[in-house]
């Protein structure tokens, strides 16, 4: 489903035309080039451009300098232009690469400066979201909720702040959180990595960010010397596309035209055109996870979950079941929720300030007042109960789950569930039950090698395998 929100699309990060625009020093980028050649063994100029996600003309002067310093050599040529020269390391170059790998084992797209990262978070902020009732209905298509819930969720989303979802397990709080991310817009540019205090921090996560619907610019390039960007040490991995260019070396001035007209990417390839993120954390969350994570082996940082969730949704699921005391965890969120900025600590001890730009959803099946004091609950602007479904809501969910599985819905099956189980000590109905019961039906039907249906011969044993007997 297409994302729905009314946030204006962000400007496109343009490809840098100089090292100054890229925000990188010659020495840092030289280290990245020799590590890339160490990793690959050899590579064409265009290969290096793909791997480091920088235009080749920007790299070429630097590669020439590395040749003059006898760190890089030309191994072969695949065409008449330097972009098609095959480069490799000299013995001195291999020594330099070993020194660079001692400092950091990161090899991949060149990082963006921390200040640029901050600026792009602010340019793509979720603040200012305006969603109408009809748009919210579209975003939550497939999520069955009572009508009054929409008047609670809509203002919460438009606030761009935080919400506390509470209610019994199995009532779709996590599913609801995932759907809400769709209201914050279609496109989000996230960098692969960020340079902080001379160290690389990995931000892009292919599971969390993926690619935006209809995104272009990260697919495989084709043409002379072009290849898919491969995974490298610390490289989260992605494809990118700059289009095709057919080059005939026999054409007059073909080499010049090839160098000039080689297709230019639409945006800075150090950024991925991603979907708005949804970051889920659960009982495994600790206070340490909310700060920068130093990878001693790779000698680089991993961004904490709230930074990966920038521009999207952060779900603190199963609140109260973490290994850390819940009050400590809630206190950690006080300043970010109130001031929209967070403080992270570098291993040097220096503290950096980062934007806190995510819609935070706290989700729990415990009583909210047993988890947090009134002072913290005041900071969470919206407290919304996700209650057990009514029979009508349950029937709608059951019917929808049947349609997804191509199983004919039967009212008698619904009566059977409510009479034999919910009305006979199996506990209240939950929103997840139709899905789970039908999964059991399908498993049993597959075992018996017969079509799945709501025939009592399938439904009854499936229910007895799923529901605990009444006391």
Q: What is the largest CA-CA distance in the chain?
A: 89
Structure tokens at 454: 């709501």
Q: What pLDDT, on a 0 to 100 scale, did the predictor assign at position 70?
A: 97
Number of Cβ atoms within 10 Å of the Cβ of 267: 18
Q: What pLDDT, on a 0 to 100 scale, did the predictor assign at position 1?
A: 44
The upper half-sphere exposure of residue 215, i.e. CA atoms within 13 Å in the direction of its Cβ, equals 27
Contact 402, 441 (CB under 8 A): no
Q: Which residues on adjacent β-strands are paired with residue 341? A: 355
pLDDT tens, the chain, 471 aa long? 444 555 566 689 999 999 999 999 999 999 999 999 999 999 999 999 999 999 999 999 999 999 999 999 999 999 888 999 999 999 999 999 999 999 999 999 999 999 999 999 999 988 877 888 988 988 888 899 999 999 999 999 888 778 989 988 889 888 888 888 778 876 789 999 999 999 999 999 999 998 755 555 554 332 223 333 333 343 333 333 332 222 233 333 444 444 444 455 789 999 999 988 999 987 778 888 999 999 999 999 999 999 999 999 999 888 777 777 777 888 888 889 888 999 999 999 999 999 999 999 988 888 888 887 787 777 788 999 999 999 999 999 999 999 999 999 999 999 999 998 897 777 899 999 999 999 999 999 999 999 999 999 999 999 999 998 765
Domains of the chain: 25-110+218-264 (1.10.10.10), 133-190+275-385 (3.40.50.300), 391-466 (no CATH)
Per DSSP, helices labelled H in 84-195 are: 91-103, 114-123, 133-139, 147-159, 173-180
Q: Using CA atoms, how far apart are residues 340 and 157, in angstroms rounded to an integer?
A: 16
Calculated CA dihedral for residues 40, 43, 47, 52, nearest 10 degrees: 50
Q: What pLDDT, on a 0 to 100 scale, did the predictor assign at position 189?
A: 94
Helix (H) or strand (E) holding 376, with range, is: helix 374-379
Strands 85-89 and 72-77: antiparallel
Q: pTM for this one?
A: 0.80
Q: What pLDDT, on a 0 to 100 scale, did the predictor assign at position 85?
A: 95
Helix (H) or strand (E) holding 33, with range, is: helix 26-40
Q: What pLDDT, on a 0 to 100 scale, did the predictor assign at position 8?
A: 61
Q: What pLDDT, on a 0 to 100 scale, did the predictor assign at position 224?
A: 28
Phi, psi of 312 (to 5 degrees): -145, -135
Number of Cβ atoms within 10 Å of the Cβ of 387: 16
């Amino acid at each position: 489903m297409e994302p729905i929100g009314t946030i204006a699309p962000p400007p496109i990060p343009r490809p840098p035309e100089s090292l100054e625009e890229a925000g990188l020093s010659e020495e840092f980028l030289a280290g990245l080039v020799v590590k890339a050649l160490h990793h690959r063994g050899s590579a064409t100029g265009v290969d290096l451009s793909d791997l480091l996600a920088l235009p080749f003309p920007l790299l070429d002067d630097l590669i020439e300098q590395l040749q003059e310093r006898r760190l890089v050599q030309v191994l072969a040529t695949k065409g008449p232009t330097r972009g098609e020269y095959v480069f490799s390391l000299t013995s001195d170059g291999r020594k330099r690469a070993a020194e660079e790998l001692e400092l950091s084992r990161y090899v991949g797209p060149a990082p963006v400066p921390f200040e640029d990262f901050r600026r792009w978070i602010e340019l793509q902020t979720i603040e200012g979201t305006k969603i109408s009732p009809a748009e919210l209905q579209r975003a939550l298509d497939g999520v069955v909720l009572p009508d009054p819930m929409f008047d609670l969720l809509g203002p919460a989303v438009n606030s761009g702040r935080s919400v506390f979802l509470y209610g019994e397990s199995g009532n779709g709080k996590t599913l609801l959180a995932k759907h809400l991310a769709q209201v914050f817009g279609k496109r989000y540019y996230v960098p692969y990595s960020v340079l902080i205090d001379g160290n690389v921090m990995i931000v892009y996560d292919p599971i969390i960010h993926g690619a935006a619907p209809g995104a272009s610019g990260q697919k495989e390039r084709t043409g002379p010397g072009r290849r898919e960007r491969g995974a490298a040490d610390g490289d989260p991995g992605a494809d990118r596309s700059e289009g095709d260019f057919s080059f005939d070396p026999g054409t007059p001035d073909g080499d010049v035209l090839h160098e000039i007209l080689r297709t230019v990417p639409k945006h800075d390839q150090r950024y991925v055109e991603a979907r708005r993120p949804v970051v889920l954390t659960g009982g495994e969350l600790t206070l340490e996870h909310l700060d920068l994570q130093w990878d001693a082996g790779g000698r680089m940082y991993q961004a904490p979950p709230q930074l990966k969730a920038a521009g999207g949704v952060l779900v603190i699921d199963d609140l109260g079941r973490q290994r850390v005391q819940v009050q400590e965890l809630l206190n950690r969120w006080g300043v970010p929720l109130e001031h929209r900025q967070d403080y992270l600590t570098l291993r040097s001890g220096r503290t950096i300030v980062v934007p806190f730009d995510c819609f935070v959803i706290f989700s729990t099946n415990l009583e909210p007042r047993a988890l947090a004091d009134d002072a913290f609950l005041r900071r969470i602007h919206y407290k919304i109960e996700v209650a057990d479904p009514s029979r009508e809501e349950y029937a709608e969910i059951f019917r929808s789950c049947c349609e997804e599985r191509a199983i004919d819905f039967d009212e008698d099956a619904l009566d059977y569930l409510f009479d034999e189980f919910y009305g006979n000590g199996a506990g209240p109905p939950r929103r997840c039950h139709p899905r789970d019961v039908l999964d059991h039906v399908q498993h049993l039907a597959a075992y018996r090698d017969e079509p799945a249906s709501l025939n009592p011969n399938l439904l009854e044993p499936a229910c007895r395998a799923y529901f605990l007997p009444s006391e």
